[in-house]
């Protein structure tokens, strides 16, 4: 680090410290990593966030986990929301298919590419369902 950059960084940290402000990154919790298989979480299909999954063809992007869910004929499928093109995780829109709005790649309910630039399918994720509870991981 150059002397000037160091001094600028140190000065900012000092001022923030005096004012009681944390310099912790705002984005720390905004782009969670996809489940790496070491953590488990459960969603309740009755929660308003997931109500679209009660209908055939309904898609949901989990609000704070990098997963997409879709109801296919009453069965729920899960995919990593990390787009296989360049890795966008949170920029999804839904119709019959899921569209990554970063560069407009479209994926069907099986996670397969309908139109690029993505070249490969979304990563499927295992889940278990007990009634209206889905456990991922």
Give the residue with the Cβ less far from ligand FES, 54 or 86. 86
Give the residue with the Cβ less far from ligand FES, 102 or 127. 102
Question: Does 102 engage in binding with ligand FES (CB under 6 A)?
Answer: yes
User: Among candidates 88, 20, 129, which has minimal Cα distance to 98?
Assistant: 88
Question: Environment class of residue 25 by beta-carbon count within 10 Å: exposed (0-12), middle (13-18) or buried (19+)?
Answer: exposed
Question: Does 83 engage in binding with ligand FES (CB under 6 A)?
Answer: yes
Question: Does 122 engage in binding with ligand FES (CB under 6 A)?
Answer: no
CB of 99 to ligand FES, least distance (A): 8
Q: Which of 35, 71, 80, 105 binds ligand FES (CB under 6 A)?
A: 105
CB of 116 to ligand FES, least distance (A): 8
CB of 102 to ligand FES, least distance (A): 4
Looking at 2-10, 49-57, 96-104, 126-134, which segment touches ligand FES (CB under 6 A)? Answer: 96-104
CA distance 70 to 122: 13
Interface positions with ligand FES (CB under 6 A): 83, 85-88, 100, 102-103, 105, 117-118
């Amino acid at each position: 680090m150059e002397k000037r950059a160091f001094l600028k960084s140190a000065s900012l940290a000092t001022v923030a410290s005096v004012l009681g402000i944390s310099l912790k990154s705002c984005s720390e919790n905004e782009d969670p990593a996809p489940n790496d298989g070491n953590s488990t979480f459960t969603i309740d299909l009755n929660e308003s966030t997931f109500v679209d999954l009660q209908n055939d063809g309904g898609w949901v992007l989990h609000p704070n986990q990098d997963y997409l869910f879709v109801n296919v004929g009453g069965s729920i499928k899960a995919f990593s929301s990390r787009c296989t093109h360049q890795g966008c995780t949170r920029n999804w829109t839904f119709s019959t298919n899921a569209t990554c709005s970063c560069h407009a790649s479209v994926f069907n309910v099986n996670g397969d590419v309908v139109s690029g630039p993505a070249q490969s399918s979304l990563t499927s994720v295992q889940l278990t369902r007990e009634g209206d509870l889905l456990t991922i991981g």
